[in-house]
Amino acid sequence: METWEKMYQAAKAVQNDRRISEYIEAGGVAAAVLSGSGKIYTGVCIDTCSTLGICAERNAIFNMITCGEQEIKRVIAIMPDGKSGAPCGACRELMVQLMPEGYKNIEILMDYESKRVVTLGELTPEWWI
């Protein structure tokens, strides 16, 4: 199985849209991050009634960091309809700050069906710093 397919399947395996409480929903979006070592880390979005929630991509990145890694090679986010899409601005900003010298090479799978890949450098050509 090719790497993008493994990442897609890993994200789908944790995607479980559900209500946690009257204030929190989780799992509508799931993400997988391929680290520099080749390990796949996953995360889901956690949506709250305030700004305390977290995107799936950042959750997966935090999981990777918790496990002692900090280099990102690839990212995929799976939306509720099963399609992939681009990371939001906050997720892009975290990736840039995590890898200021190498962020432009991080691959993002924009469209799972067509296998369209762009780099974070294409999505974020000029960082503010």
Percentage of the chain exceeding pLDDT 70: 98
The contacts of residue 81 (CB under 8 Å, 6+ apart) are none
- 69 and 35 in contact (C-beta within 8 Å)? yes
Which pLDDT score, from 0 to 100, does residue 129 have?
A: 62
Which pLDDT score, from 0 to 100, does residue 126 have?
A: 83
Residue ranges of the domains in the chain? Answer: 3-123
Which pLDDT score, from 0 to 100, does residue 51 have?
A: 83
In this structure, what DSSP letter does residue 126 have? S
Secondary structure element (H or E) that encloses residue 81, with its range: none
What's the whole-number average pLDDT of the chain? Answer: 95
Which pLDDT score, from 0 to 100, does residue 123 have?
A: 93
At 74, give phi and psi (nearest 5°). -145, 150
- 81 and 99 in contact (C-beta within 8 Å)? no
Question: What is the pTM assigned to this prediction?
Answer: 0.94
The topology under which CATH files domain 3-123 is: Cytidine Deaminase; domain 2 (3.40.140)
